[in-house]
Amino acid sequence: MRHVTRFFRELDHVGDLAIEVNARSRAELFAHALVALARLMVAQRGIRTVGRRELECAADDDFTLMHDALSRALNLFLIDGFIWRRVTVEEKGRGLAIILFGEQYDRTRHELLGEIKGVTFHRLFVGQEHGGWRAEIVFDV
Amino acid sequence: MELKHIRDYLWEIPRHGAMRVPGRIYASKSMLDELRNDPALNQVENVACLPGIVGYSLAMPDIHWGYGFPIGGVAAIDAEHGVISPGGVGYDINCGVRLVRTRLRRADIEQDIERLADRLFETIPAGVGSHGAIPSLGITELKKVVRDGVGWAVANGYAQPADVERIEEGGRLASADPEAVSGQAYQRGQKQLGTLGSGNHFLECGEVDQIYRPDEAGALGLELGQVTVLIHTGSRGLGHQTCDDYLKVIDKAADRYGIRLPDRQLAAAPIQSPEGQAYLAAMAAAANFAWCNRQMITHLAEQAFMQALHLGPRELGFALVYDVCHNIAKFEEHLVDGAQTRLCVHRKGATRAFGPGHPALARSLRPLGQPVLIPGDMGRYSFVLIGLEHAMRETFGSTCHGAGRVLSRHQAKKAARGRDLVAELARAGVVIRATSRATIAEEMPMAYKNVADVVEVMEAAAVSRKVARLKPFAVIKG
């Protein structure tokens, strides 16, 4: 395993791209996962936090919630070209209120690191461990 | 896991537990030794539990772990009483390969290869954020694309009518329903018609460097030294979103219909259920988009060749050899227990390989059998095969689809550290253009098995046989 950062690291996966995310709380786990997604796609330096996008997500379980939150954010990038560097997440009932801070992707200013095509349910894990929160996510690339 | 040796290159997982049929794996002894502890073999067992599966749960020699189904898996399921599983098709619906031949010889363009690579890279949008060189289509027009597939390209002057018979299914599944595709999927596909995409997708200019069967190669218009173009891509964001949309629908339907499977990612619904029919209609729409996408890239590649080499279309002689899909579920007739039976054949990382005489092939190809295109890694070679009659009896007319990865993407990036892969490939005679260095590292030749070993297994099993080998000299990647 490599690419250890404070809150996520890349895991071995032959076909696709897998990460482990850690956090102190559930809301922070989702925020970290969303930042990790952006960091895997575009180099963070040079992304200005001059714009924001708001998402509200709700689901019956944390697995589906993680899948849906990441998928919706991914589509913000893939469809609207919005890339973010900072994320806030607040618990809202059974769901989450998410704000992504960033700007429009610009090929001339931003360094593309790789394309992520989808968020999968493959090996998806979201749960509490050792007093903190942990997620494992596999992206289709 | 118990593995029974049936004969050379064929192994069986005997039926046990909830398996409805045995599993069968095409592999050499050394490949099998590497696979023994691989979860992909458990996935072969899991697929064997699907309601309505007939014959065997099959695995090709390029098998590796996928979502629910293994990549390199084939499952034929009774069309009336069986199930459809999006996991048996995959995210990139109708990911596939097409081969174009030219009138050029490698020797004639030796001095122009760098310029050609530049022109192709400029002309064909590749990675994320790239938009089609084809003007962005409105939803109404996009619905025509997913309804008509390559027919849309013919109607709009991007393809010749004769191209259609050189494409699996004629480049269109008639069961497509544009209304079964979500608005979000259309949004993702709107700017992507005629784009290559990233990851393992590519456009590769190659040279026919070996002919194994001159008669068959001649019938396909292939000769030694000839310049060819191989295109590997699929349905882009439209297909991915369609898969994602329907995974949830089918997952819920599986519960509703009481379909219990060993892995949630195998989620399946009865083919005849409203959910199953809706998925099939959307999958067909995404498949049509993919065929049209490969056609549009062919059109753009032809323009790039003409501009870079200052040639007219006649001198260039761009002509489609064939186009195959390797992620799809289709209805086909096969012999099951002596009776002709309508089946839904799921091929995920596997290629249709119909033998000579099959009525699904165009008249011009019928005496020959179906051409099969097997891309390798970007440093070595790719193969043109032909389907054999035996495939119809053994594998529901299916063969392998590619080399199969051996290194994860980040293992590959680690192995690439400190190396100049672009220079290494150049020394091996391959010019590469890519939007990101990370992609080159992830896709380095050593990240893949040797595709020659994979196609040898299928030839030894008499499922498909080699016709020609293509050596790449210019590769465009997202």
Rg of chain B over all Cα atoms, to the nearest angstrom: 21
Contact B240 A117 (CB under 8 A): yes
Q: What's the total number of domains in chain B? A: 1
Closest CA to B236 of B428, B361, B95, B76: B95
Residue of A nearest to B247 (CA): A121
Residue type, B208: V
Q: Which residue has the tokens 């009518």?
A: B161
Pick from B197, B198, B405: CB nearest A15:
B405
User: Which amino acid would we find at residue B383?
Assistant: F
Alpha helices in B10-105 (DSSP H): 29-35, 39-47
The C-alpha atoms of residue A69 and residue B152 are separated, in whole angstroms, by 35
Domains of chain A, with CATH numbers? 18-140 (3.55.10.10)
Q: Are B308 and B115 in contact (CB under 8 A)?
A: yes
How far is Cα A43 from Cα B282, in angstroms, rounded to an integer? 35
Is A52 near chain B, with CB under 8 Å?
no
CA distance A94 to chain B (A): 19
Q: What is the DSSP letter of B405?
A: B
- Set of chain B residues whose Cβ sits within 8 Å of the Cβ of A71: 244
Write out chain A residues lying below 8 Å of B67, CB-based: 120-122
CB contact under 8 A, A71 and B244: yes
Q: Does A2 touch chain B (CB under 8 A)?
A: yes
Predicted confidence at residue A37, as pLDDT, reads: 98
Query: Cα angle at B278 between B277 and B282, to 5 degrees?
Result: 115
The candidate with the shortest Cα–Cα distance to A139, out of A61, A27, A34, A7, is A34
Q: Are B91 and B244 in contact (CB under 8 A)?
A: yes
| Segment 102-141 of chain A within 8 Å of chain B by CB | 105, 107, 112-115, 117-122, 140-141
Nearest to B411 among A12, A113, A141 (CB): A12
Q: Minimal Cα–Cα distance from B138 to chain A, Å?
A: 14
| A79/B188 CB distance under 8 A | yes
pLDDT tens-digit profile, chain B (478 residues): 889 999 999 999 999 999 999 999 999 999 999 888 888 999 999 999 999 999 999 999 999 888 899 999 999 999 999 999 999 999 999 999 999 999 999 999 999 999 999 999 999 987 565 665 677 789 999 999 999 999 999 999 999 999 999 999 999 999 999 999 999 999 999 889 999 988 889 999 999 999 999 999 999 999 999 999 999 999 999 999 999 999 999 999 999 999 999 888 899 999 999 999 999 999 999 999 999 999 999 999 999 999 999 999 999 999 999 999 999 999 999 999 999 999 999 999 999 999 999 999 999 999 999 999 999 999 999 999 999 999 999 999 999 999 988 888 878 888 999 899 999 999 999 999 998 888 899 889 999 989 999 999 999 999 999 999 999 999 999 7
Check residue B132 and give its pLDDT.
59
Candidate from B64, B67, B439 with C-beta closest to A120: B67
Q: Which residue of A has its CA nearest to B438?
A: A113
Element (H, E) at B448: none
* Residue B470 neighbours by CB distance under 10 Å: 27
Please report the pLDDT score of residue A3 as a whole number: 45
Angstrom CA distances, B41 to B66, B236, B395, stand at 11, 28, 17
Q: Please give the distance of CA B205 from its chain centroid, rounded to a whole number.
A: 18
| Residue (of B99, B128, B95, B51) closest to B283 by Cα position | B95
User: Rounded CA gap, B159 and B153, in Å?
Assistant: 5
CA distance B364 to B366: 6
Q: Is B401 a catalytic residue?
A: yes
**Chain B: closest CA distance from residue A93 (Å):** 23
Question: Looking at CA atoms only, how far is residue A114 from chain B in angstroms?
Answer: 7
Tell me how many degrees the CA angle B120-B124-B127 measures, rounded to the nearest 5.
115
Do B128 and B134 form a contact (C-beta atoms < 8 A)? Answer: no
Give A32-98 as a DSSP string: HHHHHHHHHHB-STT----EEEEEEE--SSHHHHHHHHHHHHHHHHHHH-EEEEEEEEEEETTEEEE
Helix/strand/coil for B283:
helix
Per CB-CB distance under 8 Å, the chain A contacts of B411 are: 12
Query: Residue B391 belongs to what domain range?
Result: 4-477
Q: What is the pLDDT of residue B228?
A: 98
**Contact criterion met (CB < 8 Å) for B411 and A10:** no
DSSP codes of every residue in B326-369: SEEEEEEEEEETTEEEEEEEEEES-EE---TT-TTS-TTTTTT-
Which chain A residue has the Cα nearest residue B437? A113
Flag if A121 and B65 touch (Cβ within 8 Å).
Answer: no
What residue type is A103 in one-letter code? E
Judge contact between B267 and B247, C-beta under 8 A: yes
Residue B241 makes CB contacts below 8 A (sequence gap 6+) with A75, A118, B182, B184, B185, B188, B189
Counting one residue from A and one from B, how many pairs have CB atoms under 8 Å apart?
84
pLDDT given at position B129: 58
Determine contact, residues B455/B382, Cβ cutoff 8 Å: no
Cβ-nearest to B410 among A3, A79, A81: A3
Measured CA to CA, the distance from residue B100 to residue B382 in angstroms comes to 13
> B189 with B236: CB under 8 angstroms?
yes
Confirm or reject contact between A12 and chain B (CB < 8 A): yes
CB < 8 Å to A119, chain B: 244
Q: Which of A1, A4, A8, A14 to mutate: most B Cβ within 10 Å?
A: A14
**How many CB atoms neighbour CB B34 within 10 A?**
12
Residue whose C-alpha is closest to residue B137's, from B178, B179, B177, B194: B194
Put simply, the answer to whether B436 touches A113 (Cβ < 8 Å) is yes
Q: Which amino acid is located at B207 in the chain?
A: E
Burial A70-92 (b: 16+ CB within 10 A, else e): bbbbbbbbbeeebbbbbbebeee
Give the CATH number, domain containing residue B81.
Answer: 3.90.1860.10
B179: enclosing H helix or E strand = none
Smallest CA-to-CA distance from B137 within B185, B197, B186 is with B186
> Is residue A137 within 8 Å of residue A70, measured between CB atoms?
yes
Contact B127 A71 (CB under 8 A): no
Counting as low any pLDDT under 70, the low residues of chain A are: 1-5
Q: Cβ B128–A41 below 8 Å, yes or no?
A: yes
